[in-house]
Amino acid sequence: MAVTSLNDSGNKKKVPWYLKLRNKYVLVILNEDSFEEKLSFKLSRLNVFVISGMLAIVLIFFTIYLIAFTGLREYIPGYSNASVQRNLYELQLKADSIETVLKSSNIYIDNMKMILNDEVPGTGFSNAEPKDTTSKFNYSNINISRSPEDSLLRLQYEQENRYLLNNQVESVGKSAVSLNKMNFFTPIKGIVTNHFDASKQHFGVDLAAPRNEAVKAAYDGVVFFSEWTAETGNVLAIQHPANVITVYKHNSVLLRKQGAFVRAGETISIIGNSGELSTGPHLHFEIWINGTAVDPEKFMSF
């Protein structure tokens, strides 16, 4: 029943809105043709607000559930797939690994270029003179005499490493034996104009030969360097088994690229006169084993 009130003059008094929330209403559904009552509801404004609020809360929680625990969240703009995020993370790890390997490879290639140019690879330390920072310290009270424990430690170390030098000599000897077992192919037939001399940093032999003479690979291996350098011109280097490297400098043309596999006796370049250090058409040929240059004339005749 609607809440109304009359004043003394008989006019209706305005009812507050919160009282109107309890006013009862009847919602009737009729047949359009016969006006027969099919369904009716007794409602109030308060009931409508409560039911609407509950439906809204249920709808919100249902939507959150669909987004959080079902695959529908992948269709929301800006929301990435979990598998895509995982693949992206794995790709980032691979990219970091590739970057690390690439930096190491660049350092290795730079060092090899310096070696092929008869230079000493950099150590990464500054050549500037160090400052004297010891003048402010007093060393007069320091005792430098050996203690009994120090003497025993020195004796033990000397006994454990007494054969170290012999082991190093034996290792070099084994490398030489493996070289002797390798049947090197003469890279080019010519006259030796400059012999191997490590004291003068001439780590190979110079071979004079006719122009456009083909240079052959000394042994089976993989080309790991095939580029032009300012001092030694077109340079080609091959990695062989047993940690053996052969280097061919001052070529006019390089016929094999980096990464190519070559056989012994296969043509790899053409003799030339390239590079600032060249004084005429010739081939500068080097053999390295375990990072040490050896005399090529000990293993082949030219």
Q: 77: which residues sit within 8 A by CB, 6+ positions away?
A: none
Per-residue pLDDT, 57: 95
Listed as ranges, residues in the chain with pLDDT below 50 are 1-3, 5-6, 123-130, 132-134, 161-177
Cα–Cα dist 103/126, whole Å: 21
Per-residue pLDDT, 69: 79
Q: Do 235 and 285 touch, CB atoms closer than 8 A?
A: no
> Which pair of structure tokens corresponds to residue 293?
């240059």
Q: Is 275 exposed, middle or buried (0-12, 13-18, 19+ CB in 10 A)?
A: buried
Cα–Cα dist 116/277, whole Å: 12
Residue among 87, 286, 98 at smallest CA distance from 206: 286
Per residue in 25-34, pLDDT tens?
888 888 888 8
Q: Is 201 exposed, middle or buried (0-12, 13-18, 19+ CB in 10 A)?
A: exposed
Residue among 243, 246, 221, 115 at smallest CA distance from 175: 243
Please tell me the pTM assigned to this model: 0.45
CATH 3.30.230.70 fits 181-298, yes or no: no
Per-residue pLDDT, 109: 81
Per-residue pLDDT, 225: 92
Cα–Cα dist 302/296, whole Å: 9
Per-residue pLDDT, 44: 83
What sign does the CA torsion over 231, 234, 198, 189 have?
Answer: negative
Q: 200: which residues sit within 8 A by CB, 6+ positions away?
A: none
